[in-house]
């Protein structure tokens, strides 16, 4: 393990909560219990971040022995576990409890078994998975994690995060009162700090994205990755705050214009990275993957699909913003804005929730000539779609409110949200997200896969792994 890298384990809040409940259910009193996550590691500059793909909690009939002072799983259960869940590239997280409260220490027995197990899994599987182990109190409220090297000789501590944002190097540095944020002190100084540390990836810096950046910037967000391939045009000037004819004449990219907005708020301590390509470029994808939050505010379906795929792959919260104006046959306009936050870690997504149209996304990815043909035949939304500042502002403003609620904890987005505002009837509609839940979505189905395994699931099956050690 590289000593300059910090290692973190990031489990989405709802998944952690479901896991805790299953663990507590798998015993009678305060017996020790055990559960597993199978995680994908993602390495960025100074950090390796492990995010779960699946989890498994053995039911009480999977134990050979289970008491308040120790536990032994059935040999068959371990074979079942590794053969069914240890897919290529995944690492194992193993969590067990000790009786009592407070943060427990790993015992000498834990040290010995885990050391053997770490060596065993890395030598028996070609991908040499790592072992991360955790020990918690009996209610799974307090605990600690460590990661073993492949020889099972050494381990390093692992940061554990079970909130939406895995913000690294989170420190309380709010010793001097920043007058700029005095009027929002009521939301808590720790939350203000979190906003300062948050790195937001904004895909689409047009009519909605620019207002959004201005608003979220004023709330306290200083770190940005901006993605948009387009340049400012005169037709944009009806709805982009602070944009000028000079900028259009000088052919400013939209990403540079939004960077300019952020730097006006924070001339000294902002960090804004601009990428003047589409989200499909490798550079965009790489940089968006490092963001704590992904926001997509484009007018096409393909970039939204890509943003959702990245959010699922890297387990990041996603906020999707859009507006739409249409004119009814009697010439009265109907206007909509939509704010969608799919649940982090699966359940439903923009694709299975039909928030975006996959056919359109496919057309948008087609070569240019075909794209133009499709647009001519009315299959694609064009750049000439009607758009007004005030409607975009309702959308961007509500999106920022949702993020403020996610950061401060006054809005629960664990099951996702999908809000649609309609004007002039002045109606907010909230999609019942229970109807959006799907089990077998091609895009989000792999995430959030979970199970409580019972003895009957594996007792009759045959395994070819005779030298598996018993826990």
Contact residues for Zn ion, defined by CB under 5 A: 107, 110, 349, 352, 441, 443-444
Structure tokens, 97: 């409890």
Q: Are 266 and 166 in contact (CB under 8 A)?
A: no
Q: 48 or 312, CB closer to Zn ion?
A: 312
Q: Are 361 and 302 in contact (CB under 8 A)?
A: yes
| Closest of 77, 99, 94 to residue 31, by C-alpha | 99
User: What residues have CB less than 8 Å from 410, skipping those under 6 apart?
Assistant: 404
CB of 349 to Zn ion, least distance (A): 3
CB of 118 to Zn ion, least distance (A): 15
CA distances 237 to 2, 209, 271, 298, Å, are 50, 14, 26, 17
User: What residues have CB less than 8 Å from 269, skipping those under 6 apart?
Assistant: 222
Structure tokens, 53: 């793909």
CB of 149 to Zn ion, least distance (A): 20
State the residue for tokens 């439903």: 348
Q: 11 or 444, CB closer to Zn ion?
A: 444
Q: Are 145 and 163 in contact (CB under 8 A)?
A: no
144: burial class by Cβ within 10 Å (0-12, 13-18, 19+)? middle
User: What residues have CB less than 8 Å from 26, skipping those under 6 apart?
Assistant: 33, 35, 57, 58, 59, 60, 452
Q: 243 or 352, CB closer to Zn ion?
A: 352
Q: 65 or 334, CB closer to Zn ion?
A: 65
Q: 389 or 442, CB closer to Zn ion?
A: 442
Q: Are 217 and 181 in contact (CB under 8 A)?
A: no
CB of 107 to Zn ion, least distance (A): 5
CB of 448 to Zn ion, least distance (A): 10
Taking the alpha carbons of 243, 247, 253, 256 in that order, is the dihedral positive or negative? negative
203: burial class by Cβ within 10 Å (0-12, 13-18, 19+)? buried
Q: 110 or 280, CB closer to Zn ion?
A: 110
CB of 441 to Zn ion, least distance (A): 3
CB of 369 to Zn ion, least distance (A): 31
Structure tokens, 418: 């999908």
Provide the residue count of the chain. Answer: 471
CB of 15 to Zn ion, least distance (A): 16
CB of 346 to Zn ion, least distance (A): 7
Taking the alpha carbons of 265, 268, 271, 272 in that order, is the dihedral positive or negative? positive
Q: 221 or 318, CB closer to Zn ion?
A: 318
CB of 146 to Zn ion, least distance (A): 12
């Amino acid at each position: 393990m590289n000593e300059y890298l910090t290692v973190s384990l990031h489990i989405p809040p709802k998944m952690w909560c479901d896991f805790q409940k299953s663990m507590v259910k798998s015993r009678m009193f305060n017996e020790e219990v055990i559960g597993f996550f199978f995680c994908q590691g993602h390495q960025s500059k100074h950090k390796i971040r492990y995010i779960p793909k699946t989890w498994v909690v053995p039911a009480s009939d999977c134990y050979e022995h289970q008491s308040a002072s120790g536990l032994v799983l059935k040999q068959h259960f371990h074979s079942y576990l590794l053969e069914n869940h240890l897919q290529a590239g995944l690492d194992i997280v193993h969590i067990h409890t000790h009786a009592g409260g407070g943060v427990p220490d790993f015992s000498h027995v834990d040290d010995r078994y885990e050391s053997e197990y770490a060596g065993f899994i890395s030598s028996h599987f070609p991908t040499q998975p790592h072992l991360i182990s955790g020990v918690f109190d009996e209610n799974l409220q307090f605990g600690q994690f460590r990661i073993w090297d492949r020889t099972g000789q050494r381990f390093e501590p692992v940061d554990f995060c079970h909130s939406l944002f895995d913000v690294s190097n989170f420190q309380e540095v709010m010793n001097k009162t920043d007058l700029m944020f005095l009027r929002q002190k009521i939301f808590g100084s720790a939350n203000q700090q979190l906003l300062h540390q948050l790195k937001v990836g904004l895909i689409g810096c047009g009519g909605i994205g620019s207002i959004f950046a201005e608003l979220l910037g004023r709330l306290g967000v200083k770190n940005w990755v901006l993605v948009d391939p387009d340049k400012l045009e005169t037709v944009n000037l009806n709805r982009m705050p602070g944009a000028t004819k000079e900028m259009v004449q000088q052919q400013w990219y939209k990403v540079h214009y939004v960077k300019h907005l952020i730097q006006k708020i924070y001339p000294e301590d902002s960090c804004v990275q601009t990428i003047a390509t589409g989200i499909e470029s490798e550079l965009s994808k790489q940089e968006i993957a490092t963001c704590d939050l992904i926001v997509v505010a484009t007018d096409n379906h393909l970039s939204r699909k890509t943003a959702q795929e990245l959010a699922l792959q890297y387990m990041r919260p996603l906020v999707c913003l859009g507006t739409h104006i249409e004119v009814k046959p009697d010439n009265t306009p109907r206007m909509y804005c939509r704010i969608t936050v799919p649940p982090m870690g699966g359940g439903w997504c923009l694709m299975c929730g039909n928030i975006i149209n996959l056919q359109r996304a496919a057309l948008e990815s087609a070569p240019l000539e075909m794209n133009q043909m499709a647009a001519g035949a009315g299959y694609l939304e064009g750049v000439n779609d009607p758009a007004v500042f005030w409607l975009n502002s309702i959308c961007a403003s509500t999106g920022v409110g949702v993020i403020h609620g996610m950061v401060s904890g006054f809005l629960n987005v664990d099951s996702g949200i999908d809000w649609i505002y309609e004007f002039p009837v002045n109606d907010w509609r909230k999609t019942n997200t229970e109807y959006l839940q799907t089990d077998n979505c091609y895009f989000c189905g792999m995430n959030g896969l979970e199970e409580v395994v019972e003895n009957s699931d594996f007792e009759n099956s045959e395994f070819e792994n005779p030298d598996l050690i018993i826990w």
